Amino acid sequence: MKKDTEKKQTTHFGFTEVNVGDKSNLVADVFHSVASKYDLMNDVMSLGMHRLWKKFTIDQAQVKPSQKILDVAGGTGDLTKEFSKKVGPEGEVILADINIKMLEEGRNKLTDSGIVNNVSFVQADAENLPFEDNYFDCITIAFGLRNVTNKLNALKSMYRILKPAGRLLVLEFSKPTMPLLDKIYDSYSFNVIPKLGEFITNDKESYQYLVESIRMHPNQESLKKMMEEAQFEDVEFFNLAGGIVALHKGFKY
């Protein structure tokens, strides 16, 4: 009876309801498809703004030399690269991603940049991170949480492996807060982004999913409450680009 109940549990994949057990494979297919053009599409879709959002995240992380950092769903390694410079040769940065193609893209990109000595790469599920308790000084997840099947489980997994006084930063698309911006954003998202995906990556469907997944992600206050439910304290968020993107920050004490 329990197995029958589990089979009937559903979650969203974009606007589509799918079995819980199927979502991770569907998301994997998306990122397998777009991995090689992921950075280019980020620049085109955001008009380069994603670089400023990531810089703000890095500044808020307040990483120090010799610290241990985990970049969850780190993809092509934009945050990992900067953290590697900040922690120095005595520090450690781990780029973790569930998708092997994205992990390979990140490894190749960072190796080409000469970033190798203090960085390692781990294929890992955000809901079950394979690291010991109280290990990291700082954890980041940028534009990855919305793709996780059970977001609360992922937040709890990150909480477990943070050191006391460690911090989590979640950079993610969110809900516009400025008047009329939501209508402009919807029009751009649904009418332009999938077409860009088709033109640049020959994959309209994957970018249709990415647009839909943004709409299904919890808004700013809901994600804050979810982080608090996972035991994070002093949770706050910063709206960027009028709330199109938000950075949430919480601490483990």
Task: Characterise 134 by phi-psi region: left (phi > 0), alpha (psi -120 to 50), beta (else).
Answer: left
CA atoms within 13 A on the CB side of 39: 13
Give the tokens for residue 179. 């008047």
Query: How far is 59 from 64, CA to CA, in rounded Å?
Result: 11
Q: How far is CA 113 from CA 17, 59, 80, 106, in A?
A: 41, 21, 12, 11
Instruction: Check residue 22 and give its pLDDT.
Output: 78
Residue 66 DSSP symbol: T
Look at residue 6 and tell me whether its pLDDT is greater than 50. no
- Which residues constitute the domain of residue 93? 2-251
The mean pLDDT of 155-182, rounded to a whole number, is: 96
Question: Model confidence over 11-33: pLDDT tens digits?
Answer: 887 888 888 887 888 777 777 77
- Asked whether the beta carbons of 203 and 33 are under 8 A apart, the reply is yes
Question: Residue 74's closest CA among 120, 37, 30, 36?
Answer: 120
Residue-averaged pLDDT of the chain: 92
> Residue 40: which pLDDT band, with cuts at 50, 70 and 90?
confident
Q: What is the pLDDT of residues 49-66, one digit of tens each?
A: 999 999 999 999 999 999
* pLDDT tens per residue, range 62-104: 999 999 999 999 999 999 999 999 999 999 999 999 999 999 9
High-pLDDT (> 90) share of the chain, %: 75
Q: Select from 240, 220, 234, 235 the least CA-distant residue to 56.
A: 240
Q: How many domains in the chain?
A: 1
pLDDT for position 13: 78
Q: Which helix (H) or strand (E) holds 79?
A: helix 78-87
Provide the 8-state DSSP code for 110.
H
Q: Residue 107's pLDDT is what? A: 95
Half-sphere exposure of 184 (CA within 13 A, CB side): 10
Task: State the virtual CA torsion across 115, 143, 66, 236 in degrees, nearest 10.
Answer: 160
The tens digit of pLDDT for each residue in 197-229 reads 898 988 899 889 989 999 999 999 999 999 999
Q: Coil, helix or strand for 17?
A: strand
Q: For residues 226 and 152, is the Cβ–Cβ distance under 8 A?
A: yes
- Top-confidence residue, 103 or 41: 103
Write down the pLDDT at residue 8.
Answer: 67
Q: What phi, psi does 92 have (nearest 5°)?
A: -145, 135
Predicted local distance difference test score (pLDDT) of residue 2: 44
CATH number for the domain spanning 128: value is 3.40.50.150
